[in-house]
Structure 1
Amino acid sequence: MPGYLCKFIPPRADFLSTMTPDEKIWMGQHGAYLDEMTSRGLVVAHGPVIDPTGSYGVSLWQIDAGQDIAALTGEDPIIRNGVGHYDHFPMIHLRSRDQAAVR
């Protein structure tokens, strides 16, 4: 199963403190989308990274070989609404605590 580190890059460095009312709604939908992908077993972990030079989001995905990571992150409501973008980084190996017990 391919693994990816996906980095959500907001549209501006101060995004978390300057979100418009619409962006706040879309960010709530973004979190719900990633929670849903987590419950489906596609996302291993996700959350915001507070960086003094500009915060961003990180998600670790483990998907089936036939799935397209760009298509999956493209369905994220924040992306569908044109706010920010994802950078995708393939991982040679991704193993979570839950998987350690079964492998």
Structure 2
Amino acid sequence: MKYYLCKFIPPRDDFLATMSDDEKTWMAGHGAFLDGLLDQGVIVAHGPVMDPAGGYGVSLYQIADDQDIASFTSRDPIVANGVGHYEHHPMLHLKARG
């Protein structure tokens, strides 16, 4: 298995407060997409980080050795619609409750 901390970087610092109607729709799809991966066991946890310097999202992935992390994050509806991007940070291992 491979493990990643993935950081969703929105297109602007005030993104959550200034989303257009299209962006709100894509963000709803973003949440549903991540929840689906959580249900499948691909994501261990995910959620928004309310950083005063500018919010962003974090997700912890657990994927098979033969899988590519970008193949998951590129399918995220918010990214697929050209809004923001992900940083992928490999982890040596991941311990989680449950």
TM-score, normalized by the shorter chain, greater than 0.5: yes
How far apart, CA to CA, are the structure 1 residues paired with 2:41 and 2:83?
A: 25
Deviation digits for residues 13-67 of structure 1, max 9, x if unmatched? 0000000000000000000000000000000000000011100000000000011
Residue-pair matches, total? 98
Which residue is equivalent to 1:12?
12
Which residue is equivalent to 2:55?
55
Query: How far has the Cα of 1:95 moved from its partner?
Result: 1.3
- Helix, strand or coil at the partner of 2:66: coil
Which residue is equivalent to 2:75?
75
Which residue is equivalent to 1:25?
25
Runs (4 or more) in structure 1 with deviation over 4 Å come to none
- Helix, strand or coil at the partner of 2:24: helix
Structure 1, unpaired ranges of 5+: 99-103
Identical amino acids, percent of aligned pairs:
63
Deviation digits for residues 72-95 of structure 1, max 9, x if unmatched? 100000010000000000000101
RMSD: 0.4
Structure 2, unpaired ranges of 5+: none
How far apart, CA to CA, are the structure 2 residues paired with 1:68 and 1:96?
A: 22
